[in-house]
Structure 1
């Protein structure tokens, strides 16, 4: 009889742990959930966020911090790309577009720096506003290429990655 009770208790514990696991999604699911809800390229989002080991156990504020860091890094590298394209350009119209884009990406970096401060202050509405503004700056650069010559593919792709990360920051801010 004691063996039956012990077996029954073990089964009950297993069911209880499984129930808790189903009710409380893992932190990895948090990355999947946020990326699938907010990013235009969820695969890039998941790959980028998971490249930081902290993301596997991150809560929302930590995930916001990670995403802001990646957005800052991607924005800086996109600004560097724009500088390089501007230096290579011979068409004055194209040079002017790149100059405008560089201003956009510098503005985006300022907005993302504000995001860092907003997160520290737990000012989540401002976090959302500044992340949205950073994404708008990247989009404004893209708009410079509505007429020929077209935007280079590498700039378009880099811009979309910056925008995706800013969308993710906004989604996290809305959940905080």
Structure 2
């Protein structure tokens, strides 16, 4: 009886020793998956660490991260530097949209379209002047209230342009993406201005 008991005990010990080996492939798989997950998430985490305090407060966090991330200077810029980058991005968007409007104006045959294009040309012309002449100066001289106010105007001009296509009779807007972009870009500068005006991140 004792020998039989010893044999069973030995057999149970062998089974217990084999169980961890049976789970090893699963454990290894989970570990590799976890490490790969960290690797894939690395750039996003890095971006959030650089200017996440700004983008998390914006209307569209993903747009903010992509916009600021498109400029290499963002990785090392301070808050004021990010403000200048946002102004540069706004100016590029405004200029490109204005050029598109000029092309549309030359091609427009439909009176309803031409009227709306003319309206948007005025709005974007004013925004370009504000962006190129005023915003950088306000930021440099720490006139954050003026920066806030004029930044809002630029964003609202994009919204007004888009809304002009909804007035009766409505006409399909060829500028929806551009108008949305300038609204979101101005929102980035607005958030930066608010943070600067309150003296902290």
Shorter-chain TM-score: which interval? 0.7 to 0.9
Question: Which SS does the other structure have where 1:146 is aligned?
Answer: coil
Question: Which SS does the other structure have where 2:57 is aligned?
Answer: helix
Structure 1 residue 107 and structure 2 residue 126: aligned? yes
Deviation at 1:36, TM superposition (A): 2.9
Extract unaligned runs of 5+ from structure 2. 1-44, 197-201
- The match for 1:156 among 160, 176, 194 is 176
Distance 1:149 1:76 in 2: 23
Q: Tell me whether 165-174 or 83-92 shows the greater mean CA deviation.
A: 83-92
Give the 5 Å matches for 1:41-80.
Answer: 42-80=61-99
Residue aligning to 1:131:
151
Deviation at 1:43, TM superposition (A): 2.3
Relative to the length of structure 1, the TM-score reads 0.78
Distance 1:98 1:26 in 2: 41
Distance 1:79 1:108 in 2: 10
Distance 2:108 2:143 in 1: 42
* 8 Å CA contact 2:58, 2:64 repeated in 1: no
Residue aligning to 1:81:
100
Runs of 4+ in 1 over 6 A off after TM superposition: none
Distance 1:64 1:90 in 2: 40
- The match for 2:189 among 153, 169, 174 is 169
RMSD of aligned alpha carbons: 1.8
Residue aligning to 2:163:
143
Larger-gyration structure (1/2): 2
Extract unaligned runs of 5+ from structure 1. 1-24
| Structure of greater relative contact order (alpha carbons < 8 Å, 6+ residues apart) | 1
Deviation at 1:82, TM superposition (A): 1.3
